[in-house]
Amino acid sequence: PCRRHTHTQIPAHTHTHTPRGWGINTCSVSRAPAFPPDTPVQILIRLPSSLLVSLLTFWNPPTTAQVTVESVPPNAAEGKDVLLRVHRLPGDLVGLSWFRGASIAPSRQILSYVVDTQVTTPGPAHSGRETIYPNGSPLLRRVTLNDTGNYTLQIVRTNTQVEQGTGQIRVFHGPDAPTISPSDSQYRPGASLRLSCHAASNPPARYSWLINGRPQPSTQELFIPNLTANDSGAYTCIASNSGTHLNKTTVQTITVSGPLPTAPPGFPRFDLGRSTTGLPMGSIIGIAVRVLVGLALTVVLGCLLLRIRTGRYDGISHTLILYCS
């Protein structure tokens, strides 16, 4: 008959306050005196319980998961604690292990736990922030954005059956202070303005704009064609996170100034400040006025000399009426 015994001892390489449990599985065969000397008498297998859990992991492929894992809270803000609560854990549990990710690679093991001795052994992926409760639920303290992802639970039962369950942690972060690109602040009249806003955030940030305090349509990219001096001012990008309920803003000052853009080749160019001859525009206007006045006087005198039809005194104003037709 085979029977199982449990023995507890403290190896020299462990801390004296942490006993390590050893599971002993003994199978014996009684030998009658008449049996030949080479008849096997006893088969004794003595393994640590933690090693037994590991060996069973590789000897027995996992069955369909019966246990379930729930993240509490379902979505955690960065810096908070998260519990991976285990449901439907079987009563004949030998031990369990937790792994970071969807695989059970040894390098991804966070910790293992032996039920009968309540001993926890950290794994290569242990960060020092993980602890485990007797019900197999681990607590992750002060979670960061890097803790986002899947976590795999593997359990071993007394009948050597191996089962798995998967949980997920989602960590909300941000938003960080948004950046506005390009960083140019000087623009010419008539140019186009295209600003883009970006902020690190999980879940992704939502964006809105203010121009001199006036709300604009919600968009990540702002576009204004044919700028004028009235478009100068403060351009504010607002990044919002629906998970953390936080907002961050960045302000960029835009200045629109300078001469109007030049005309394309082949088109006349008009400059209100200076003529193409190099003379000041005021002088050009004065000359033009004098020319027009002289031309008008010439026309009037010609009319008087060539088109005089009659002249009379009206008897009242004694004014000679001359007219041209």
Q: Are residues 159 and 213 in the same domain?
A: no
Q: Are residues 89 and 17 in the same domain?
A: no
Q: What are the tens digits of pLDDT across the range 226-251?
A: 999 999 999 999 999 998 899 999 99
* Domain end point (choices 128, 156, 172): 172
Percent of the chain at pLDDT above 90?
50
Asked, for residue 274, whether it belongs to a domain, the answer is no
Asked, for residue 203, whether it belongs to a domain, the answer is yes
In angstroms, rounded to a whole number, what is the distance separating the alpha carbons of residues 152 and 165? Answer: 6
Asked, for residue 270, whether it belongs to a domain, the answer is no
Asked, for residue 310, whether it belongs to a domain, the answer is no
Asked, for residue 252, whether it belongs to a domain, the answer is yes
Q: Are residues 76 and 166 in the same domain?
A: yes
Q: Are residues 95 and 134 in the same domain?
A: yes
Q: Are residues 52 and 104 in the same domain?
A: no
Q: Are residues 158 and 200 in the same domain?
A: no
**What pTM value is reported for the model?**
0.53
- Cα–Cα distances (Å) from 98 to 64, 134, 150, 299, in that order, read 17, 14, 11, 108
In angstroms, rounded to a whole number, what is the distance separating the alpha carbons of residues 136 and 118? Answer: 10
- 29-33, 165-169, 184-188, 281-285: least confident range: 29-33
pLDDT recorded at residue 259: 75
* Domain end point (choices 123, 148, 172): 172
CATH classification of the domain holding 107: 2.60.40.10
Q: Are residues 54 and 80 in the same domain?
A: no
Q: Are residues 248 and 194 in the same domain?
A: yes
pLDDT recorded at residue 287: 74
* Domain end point (choices 11, 40, 59): 59
Q: Are residues 50 and 137 in the same domain?
A: no
In angstroms, rounded to a whole number, what is the distance separating the alpha carbons of residues 266 and 244? Answer: 59
- Total number of domains constituting the chain: 3
- 52-61, 188-197, 247-256: least confident range: 52-61
Q: What are the tens digits of pLDDT across the range 68-112?
A: 999 999 999 899 999 999 998 888 999 999 999 988 999 999 999
Asked, for residue 214, whether it belongs to a domain, the answer is yes
**How would you label 261-280 residue by residue, b for 16+ Cβ within 10 Å and e otherwise?**
eeeeeeeeeeeeeeeeeeee
Greater confidence, 235 or 310?
A: 235
Alpha carbon 243 to chain centroid distance?
12
pLDDT recorded at residue 186: 95
Q: Are residues 85 and 53 in the same domain?
A: no
**What is the domain range of residue 235?**
179-256
pLDDT recorded at residue 42: 45
Asked, for residue 306, whether it belongs to a domain, the answer is no
One-letter amino acid identity for 53?
Answer: V
Average pLDDT over residues 24-52: 48
Q: pLDDT grade, residue 308 (50/70/90)?
A: low
3 state DSSP class of 56: helix
Mean pLDDT score across all residues of the chain: 76
Asked, for residue 184, whether it belongs to a domain, the answer is yes
Q: Are residues 226 and 160 in the same domain?
A: no
In angstroms, rounded to a whole number, what is the distance separating the alpha carbons of residues 61 and 247? Answer: 48
